[in-house]
Amino acid sequence: MSSVQEYRQYLEQGSYVAEDVLATALYMAEKLSRPLLLEGEAGVGKTFVASALAEAMGRKLIRLQCYEGLDATQAIYEWNYQRQILTIAKKANEHTPIADKDLFSEDFLLKRPLLQAITQDISPILLIDEIDRADEEFEAFLLELLAEYQISIPEYGVVKAKTIPLVILTSNGTRELSDALRRRCLYHYIDYPDAGTELRIVRKRMPDCPESLASQIVNFIQTLRKEDLKKTPGIAETLDWTAALVGLNVRDLGDDVELIHNTLLCVLKTREDIDALPVEIVSKLIAKSA
């Protein structure tokens, strides 16, 4: 069994800068065979945890992106009705009787992400992304999987997991999740990183960025997050902005404030936030973060 330190190393190998508490949460999720619910604001890196871990561990990543209206046929399984109809027609033409069990067998079963995850020969990482975007009713479909790692299919029977996947759920907190779902999961909250951690992320993900510029970028973003914004910039926005500035050969944020203002389209994602930060305000924020 891997140690907490090994999980931290896995994340580092996947270019994810993690604190010990997250590595501990992942280790305990694997050791206890319990799903891990990662909650936090959009853009703090919740989804990247799963992809970084899968890459470093060499495990298959199976992702279910949640959205309003998601149901079992899209998330768990569906019957191949076209193939069933063709089989019925063929048997009828041959005057061969056909039973329900012949039509509702594995050969006609279309496996969606949740069923795929428990039928792998090698344990995968299952990412159930943005569970809070799905309808509350959809959570009921998950409970059997999260608690017992099996799926009941009325026409077929119970499918038990070949291997236990490492299940990671993410939530942006747009709605309250049910107590039943929370009880089945371990829990960790991911917040925006502090300046030191964010600088490590920038240096690791953007090695071509000069160290002095990286520090200025991080300090500016940290200051910007304290402003009254409609959409607070996340780590992805920090990295996008860094890439843009490096591509424009910027060496110091104070050299051309108007240019810096124009590049904030990488960071600010609403008209209200852009309007609230004219060049004059940006200049003051640069000075304040220096």
**Whole-number pLDDT of residue 96:** 75
Would you say the C-alpha torsion 35, 40, 42, 44 has a positive or negative sign?
negative
Same domain, 71 and 82: no
Same domain, 176 and 269: no
Same domain, 107 and 142: no
* Burial profile 69-79: b = 16 or more Cβ within 10 angstroms, e = fewer: ebebebbbbbb
Among 88-92, 195-199, 220-224, which is the least confidently predicted range? Answer: 88-92
Same domain, 248 and 268: yes
Same domain, 50 and 181: yes
Same domain, 225 and 246: yes
Which CA distances in Å does 69 have to 25, 114, 122, 169, 172? 30, 16, 31, 18, 18
**Whole-number pLDDT of residue 1:** 46
- The mean of the pLDDT values for the chain is 92
Same domain, 17 and 152: yes
Nearest to 185 by CA among 33, 31, 14, 34: 34
Q: For residue 160, give the CATH number of its domain.
A: 3.40.50.300
**Torsion-angle region of 34 (φ positive above 0: left; ψ -120 to 50: alpha; else: beta):** beta
Same domain, 99 and 233: no
Same domain, 82 and 71: no
The β-bridge relationship of strands 186-189 and 36-39 is: parallel
189, 222, 237 - which closes a domain: 189
Alpha-carbon distance of 79 to 102, in angstroms, equals: 13
Same domain, 33 and 88: no
Alpha-carbon distance of 54 to 10, in angstroms, equals: 9
Same domain, 27 and 131: yes
Number of domains in the chain: 3
**Whole-number pLDDT of residue 208:** 95
62, 87, 111 - which closes a domain: 111
Q: Which residue has the higher pLDDT, 150 or 92?
A: 150
pLDDT digits (tens, 9 = 90+) for 96-117: 777 667 677 788 889 999 999 9
Structural domain for 258, as ranges: 195-289
189, 218, 249 - which closes a domain: 189
Is residue 26 classed as helix, strand or coil in its secondary structure? helix
pTM of this structure: 0.87
